[in-house]
């Protein structure tokens, strides 16, 4: 066979399924097992030579029958009919349902008013700002297909609207411009004198999150491109100073290592977060912890190397994502995205990417769990994907599976069942900050019902207010105030309903 007759990597990869029938069968048995079934031998899968646990028939988990009796001692239970009834006021039974009906009626009218106000804002912005020359410039911006095209379009937009004048003025109440200027001058001076320890001392002061308020969104929402010239010059100087510290011979390797570790800790890390969204998960391929549909895309990215992703990110990939079915068929489909029964630890060792998938236990009082190579190193990724997509009413909660040293798989966390993590926390930013010091999340949010409530009355980063040269409120002060009030009222009423 000649080289031209050999199938390409893409064709070979798309034809593979990575399915391990023994693992699928073990998963099916775990789903069918009674929740009271436990493992005969509880041992860690991380220890070498660990025997494969086997399921015992109908062995009940230890549960406390009485706080004042030994575990295995029989305790007389009260008959259910003799249990004291829960005492509630008469008003609870009389007023509960009428009050809930009134609350839902209020929510309906508030939501209708909110949508109407948002449409009024859009109409006013189009009438007052996005016609004529500005409308053409905006159309050019939206038609940009590369970063360079977009950058040129927004540069022209800033120049036409006069936003460049704002960039040249250092003073602004939203950041400490005097401190930034002092640090900028100190770094330039020490670097010009070739004083490495002086540069190091200044960097130890300024290398931290939101130093002098330079990460405030307000100072990035006044223009389409960039921010104050002073801030951009300061960031360029910090970049040059870091490169200078790396290359200088005045500091020992141990001093450099200690400084960069400290700087990394102070600044924090970045993370790409992919939201849930069912079929809207297709949009994630156009943009890596994930939730629900985002977990599937994140798993695909974090189990392939850069070279493999360059070959596989093609339109034919969409054929692999189909509608949800029962957990067994989902397990077969998910195996391709995770390269078979890879665990979180194995995926991290293969690609160096940290995969996080959010799930919640079936028990409504248990906290959200963020699965990764630290919290669940031996958990199978495809089982986490299925659990993260288990929306109540569509897919039942499923058992997570873990891989033993022998290669066999058994239920993880004693067979507890898990479901879609986006039901409680769509983007687990708090857990990411706690585990990985993530301070700069990049969120790909594809849920349309979430986008509906995205509204920045004074503009957002890279999207200043369209009229009055970016100095006013979107739609005017009254409409912006009404939008904020109604959004708070809707949030309050939804919380009241759940409480």
Torsion angle of the four alpha carbons 308, 309, 315, 320, in this order, in degrees rounded to the nearest 10: 80
Instruction: Look at strands 409-411 and 401-403 and give their pairing.
Output: antiparallel
Helix axes 381-388, 344-351, angle to 10 degrees: 110
CA distance 371 to 363: 17
Which residues are within 8 A (CB) of 54 and not within 5 positions of it... i.e. 6 or more apart? 39, 40, 41
Q: Is 239 within 8 Å of 408 (Cβ atoms)?
A: no
Quick check: 199 and 238 in contact, CB under 8 A?
Answer: no
Closest CA to 344 of 389, 291, 415, 401: 401
**375 closest CA partner among 354, 390, 405, 391:** 354
Conformation bin of residue 452: beta by default, left when phi > 0, alpha when psi is -120 to 50: alpha
The contacts of residue 257 (CB under 8 Å, 6+ apart) are none
Residue 45's region, left for phi above 0, alpha for psi from -120 to 50, else beta, is alpha
- The DSSP code for 215 is T
Taking alpha carbons only, the member of 408, 412, 409 closest to residue 376 is 412
Name the 3-class secondary structure at 343: strand
Per DSSP, the residues of 390-431 read --TTTS--EE-EEE-TTS-EEESGGG-EEEEGGGT-SS-HHH
Residues designated as active site: 292, 420
Helix (H) or strand (E) holding 496: helix 477-498
Residues 6+ apart with CB under 8 A from 381: 299, 303, 338, 342, 343, 344, 347, 355, 357
């Amino acid at each position: 066979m000649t080289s031209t007759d050999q199938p390409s990597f893409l064709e070979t990869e798309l034809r593979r399924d990575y399915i391990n029938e023994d693992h699928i069968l073990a998963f099916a048995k775990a789903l069918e097992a009674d929740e009271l079934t436990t493992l005969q031998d509880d041992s860690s899968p991380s220890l070498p030579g660990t025997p494969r646990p086997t399921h015992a028939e109908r062995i009940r988990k230890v549960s406390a029958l009485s706080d004042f009796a030994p575990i295995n001692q029989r305790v007389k239970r009260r008959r259910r009919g003799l249990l004291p009834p829960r005492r509630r006021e008469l008003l609870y039974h009389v007023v509960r349902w009428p009050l809930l009906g009134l609350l839902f009626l209020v929510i309906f009218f508030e939501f209708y008013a909110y949508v109407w106000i948002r449409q009024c804002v859009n109409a006013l912005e189009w009438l007052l700002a996005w016609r004529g020359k500005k409308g053409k410039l905006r159309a050019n911006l939206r038609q940009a297909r590369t970063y360079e095209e977009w950058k040129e379009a927004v540069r022209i937009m800033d120049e036409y609207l006069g936003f460049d004048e704002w960039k040249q003025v250092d003073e602004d109440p939203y950041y400490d411009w005097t401190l930034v200027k002092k640090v900028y001058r100190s770094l330039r001076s020490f670097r010009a004198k070739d004083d490495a320890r002086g540069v190091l001392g200044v960097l130890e002061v300024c290398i931290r999150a939101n130093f002098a308020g330079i990460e405030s969104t307000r100072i990035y929402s006044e223009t389409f491109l960039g921010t104050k010239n002073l801030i951009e010059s300061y960031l360029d100087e910090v970049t040059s100073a870091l490169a200078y510290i790396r290359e200088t011979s005045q500091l020992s390797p141990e001093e450099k290592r200690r400084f960069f570790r400290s700087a990394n800790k102070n600044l924090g890390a970045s993370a790409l977060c992919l939201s849930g969204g069912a079929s809207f998960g297709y949009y994630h391929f156009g943009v890596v912890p994930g939730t629900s549909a985002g977990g599937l895309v994140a798993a695909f990215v974090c189990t392939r190397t850069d070279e493999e992703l360059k070959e596989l990110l093609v339109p034919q990939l969409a054929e692999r994502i189909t509608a949800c079915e029962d957990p067994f068929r989902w397990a077969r489909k998910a195996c391709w995205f995770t390269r078979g029964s890879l665990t979180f630890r194995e995926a991290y060792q293969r690609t160096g990417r940290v995969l996080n998938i959010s799930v919640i236990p079936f028990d409504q009082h248990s906290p959200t769990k963020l699965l990764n190579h630290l919290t669940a190193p031996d958990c199978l990724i495809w089982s986490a994907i299925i659990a993260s997509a288990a929306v109540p009413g569509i897919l039942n909660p499923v058992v997570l599976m873990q891989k033993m040293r022998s290669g066999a798989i058994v239920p993880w966390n004693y067979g507890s069942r898990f479901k879609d993590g986006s039901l409680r926390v769509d983007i687990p930013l708090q857990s990411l900050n706690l585990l990985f010091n993530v301070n700069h999340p990049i969120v790909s949010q594809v849920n349309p019902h979430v986008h509906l409530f995205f509204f920045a009355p004074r503009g957002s980063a890279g999207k200043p207010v369209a009229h009055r040269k970016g100095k006013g409120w979107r739609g005017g002060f009254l409409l912006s105030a009404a939008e904020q009030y109604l959004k708070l009222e809707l949030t309050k009423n939804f919380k009241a309903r759940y409480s």
